[in-house]
Chain A
Amino acid sequence: MPNLIYIILRRLRSPLIFLILVYAISMTGFVLIPGIDDQGQVHDMSFFHAFYFVSFMGTTIGFGEIPYAFTDAQRYWTLLSLYATVIAWLYAIGSILGAFQDPAFRQQLKRNAFTRKVGSIREPFYLVCGYGDTGSQLVRSLEKEGILAVIIDNDQDRINELEISDFVVQPLWICADASHSEVLEYAGIKHPWCTGIISLASDDTVNLTVAIVAQLLNPRVRLISRAETPEAEANILSFGANEVINPFEIFASHLALALHSPSLSILFDWMTAAPGDRIKEPVFPNHGKWIICGFGKFGEALYHHLSGGGEELSIIDVNRNKRNVPAGTVIGRATEAATLKKAGIESAVGIIAGTENDADNLSILMTANEINANMFRVARQNEDHNQHVFQAAELDLLMQRGRVVSNKIFALIRTPLLGDFLRIISRFNNDRASVLVSRVIGVIDHETLELWEVRLFPDKAPAIYNMLDEHQILVEDLLRDPVNRCKSVPAVPLFLKRGKGNVILPESNRILHKGDRILMCGTLEARQHMNTITHSINALGYALTGKYIPDGYIWRWIQSKRKVK
């Protein structure tokens, strides 16, 4: 705030001095010039009257000639000083308005307002650095879940876009460079309610800087970062990041998973879907020969994952000078039929258009479709605004970088246990994964899959936490319907974490302890029911014993007396 006052004061220096001088000269003039009073005597105006007259003349109010009608000499002086004072006032007011219009001043004003708003946050919030394709999708998802986001982006266009969009939970934003530590600081990285910082810059070095700064300023905060190369990923992880999201790696491993363990890939798909997304039909690509067009970061990740899975791969890249391309790479434009044929498209089972140009990617797939219509077609979509074109192309699988990253991050934020869970099940074989899938299918209606965490902490599940002192509670008790305790709600406990120990699919007769965290999946209704059980001591009492626990202290006291009898 002091900065603002300094900016205004400095700009007001010359107009104010001008105003003071004009007033002083005018007043001196009126005091010096002799006037005539109503009796025809010479009357000298006092300083008081001079100031009074100049004040209302200068502000163009003009009450008239006081204390006596002026002589012509005084009127000459009035004419002169009238214009001088009006100009002085206009200059002063113009300067004040100019100061308010000044970009530096407005920037400072916005920054102060932002800092104040961040300081007054009293709920957990996430700091999102970067509001590009990924950032905007993530903020939307967070908003649907009711989580507050504080956004930093140094592109004014994106901030303008933010200013005109509608949000239910209004995020806070600032146009600034997130790699500056002071920006992160006033955006609330040290704020006691700051739960996490999400770095989504498209430039890995920026993400790395954010990771370092965040680690130094507040090591307690959860750090999720995006990275596009494995080297950057390792580097950011070494600076204490909790999760590093590499969209290419995620997508490539996904595709590899879909090839050799379809069940597992279905699970991954479901669990990292955006809120409200309908459950998609699973895709089943075939084993055989795959063509990868474009050997950039994406192509490399694909090659690494698919060749590890034992697929036959054929690479097409336009750049003949590129190093580290695998042997047998076809050099040429993948958009041309001749190049595709050279790569053996007639016998291929799938093609991946993974160049950095959306038009090229679409063109590759169109050409490929003409030659071999039975292929599994995968495209990489680079720009968010091309979404409709890619949808119209009816591809089997679409890699949207922003969506991949934002969905993954959102899933990790909503249910922090999910990261651990996915890491563990990614080592499952297909049969074990199938068991898991069938359990999950058993409880979902074919709309959306809800994931949530039950945390046995005093603030997250007060009813259960208090009840654990006197009563033993099993996993199956959590699943009881608060209306009819013999029925269970459609939900599956996927994962239980107690301290360092993990249990996948905990049995229904496992005893719960304080501090346990359980990852649940099921329908929205089941989630609401479980929320009732964990928060309402009455509902919990009914679910455990089938008896009604009185609400108020008096009734509880009466009941305890009855028990004693």
Chain B
Amino acid sequence: MNSEKVVFAFFIVLALTLNFGFFIGNFDIPEHHNAYELFAAIVVSLIATVLKFGDRTHIGAVFLATSLVADLQLVAAAIVWGMVENVFDGVLTGSSLATVVSLSGGALLANLTSVILLVAETITVRR
């Protein structure tokens, strides 16, 4: 058993699950989308990205790319949320909430790709 692989797989899958947890629910109901969950998703996604730094393999490069996409989407969602609540002094409802959730939905796809890659990589290693 390779502890590096365990840690990496843990973070990749955790990023997906947290992301999914935030995303799931009605688009226009703020109670379905928890800020803590988004925060945790961002942190885990960032860590997953850093874990792939310096990997020279081809699959490592793709991992890095998908993680970066997820980071970008989640951070964008967080920025939108923060702007609406603090800068425009509004409450997160309707269209702004839809933006945040759909951005996290994009990140969900990227995270899903990461997990698919992870599964594919695991299957090719016959040990």
A10 within 8 Å of B by Cβ? yes
B47, B53, B81, B86 interface centre (most CB from chain A within 10 Å)? B53
Query: Number of B residues contacting the other chain (C-beta, 8 Å)?
Result: 17
Which of B36, B51, B81 is close to A17, meaning CB atoms less than 8 Å apart?
B51
User: A residues within 8 A CB of B116?
Assistant: none
Is the beta-carbon distance between B50 and A20 smaller than 8 angstroms? yes
**Known contacts A46-B86, A48-B86, A27 near B39 by CB under 8 Å:** yes
B47 touches A12 (CB 8 A): no
Least Cβ distance of B80 to chain A in Å?
A: 11
For the complex, give the distance between the alpha carbons of A13 and B40 in Å.
19
Judge whether B35 is part of the interface by a CB distance below 8 angstroms: yes
A96 at the interface (CB under 8 A from B): no
Does the CB pair B50–A13 fall under 8 Å?
yes
Produce 1/0 per residue, A338-378, CB < 8 A to B. 00000000000000000000000000000000000000000
Provide the residues of chain B in CB contact with A21, threshold 8 Å. Answer: 43, 47
Complex formed: what's the CA distance from A48 to B84 in Å? 11
Q: Is B53 a contact partner of A12 (Cβ separation < 8 A)?
A: yes
How far apart are the CA atoms of A27 and B42 in the complex, in Å?
13
Which B residues touch A9, using CB under 8 A?
53-54
Residues of chain A contacted by B78 (CB below 8 angstroms)? 47
B39 in contact with A16 (CB, 8 Å): no
| Any A CB within 8 A of the CB of B56 | yes
A97 at the interface (CB under 8 A from B): no
CB < 8 Å neighbour of B85 from A6, A12, A17, A48: A48
- Encode B75-106 as 1/0 by CB contact (under 8 A) with A: 00010011001100000000000000000000
CB proximity to B under 8 Å, residues A1-43: 6-7, 9-13, 16-17, 20-21, 23-24, 27-28, 31
Q: Do most interface residues of chain A lie in helix, strand or loop, or is the interface mixed?
A: helix
Q: Is the interface of B mostly helix, strand, loop or mixed?
A: helix
Q: Hey, which chain A residues are within 8 Å of B54, CB to CB?
A: 6-7, 9-11, 13
- Chain A residue at minimum C-beta to C-beta distance from B54: A10
Say yes or no for B112: interface residue by CB 8 A criterion: no
Q: In the complex, are the beta carbons of B53 and A20 less than 8 A apart?
A: no
Q: Are the CB atoms of A17 and B50 closer together than 8 Å?
A: yes
Residues of A in contact, count (CB < 8 Å) = 20
Q: Once the chains bind, are A24 and B50 in contact (CB under 8 Å)?
A: no
A27 to B39, CA, bound (A): 9
B39, B40, B50, B56: most-surrounded residue (chain A CB, <10 A) = B50
- In the complex, the answer to whether B82 meets A46 with C-beta atoms within 8 Å is yes
A389, chain B: closest CB distance, angstroms: 55
Q: Does B46 count as interface, using CB distance less than 8 angstroms?
A: yes
Instruction: Say yes or no: A46-B85 contact (C-beta < 8 A), given A27-B39, A28-B39.
Output: yes
Q: What residues of chain B lie closer than 8 Å to A31, measured between beta carbons? A: 36, 39
Given contacts A20-B43, A20-B46, contact A47 B51 (CB under 8 A): no
In Å, the complex CA distance between A18 and B54 comes to 17
Give Cα A464–Cα B81 distance, bound, in whole angstroms: 79
Nearest-Cβ distance from residue A84 to partner chain B, whole angstroms: 15
Q: A23-B43, A47-B35, A47-B78 are in contact. List 17 more A-B contacts (CB 8 A).
A: A9-B53, A11-B54, A12-B53, A13-B50, A13-B51, A16-B50, A17-B47, A20-B43, A21-B47, A24-B39, A24-B40, A28-B36, A28-B39, A31-B39, A46-B82, A46-B86, A48-B86
A sample of 18 inter-chain contacts (CB < 8 A) reads: A6-B56, A7-B54, A13-B50, A13-B51, A13-B54, A16-B50, A16-B53, A17-B50, A20-B43, A23-B43, A28-B36, A31-B36, A31-B39, A46-B82, A47-B35, A48-B85, A48-B86, A49-B86
CB-based closest 10 A-B pairs: A10-B54, A9-B53, A48-B82, A24-B43, A9-B54, A16-B50, A48-B86, A20-B46, A13-B53, A6-B54
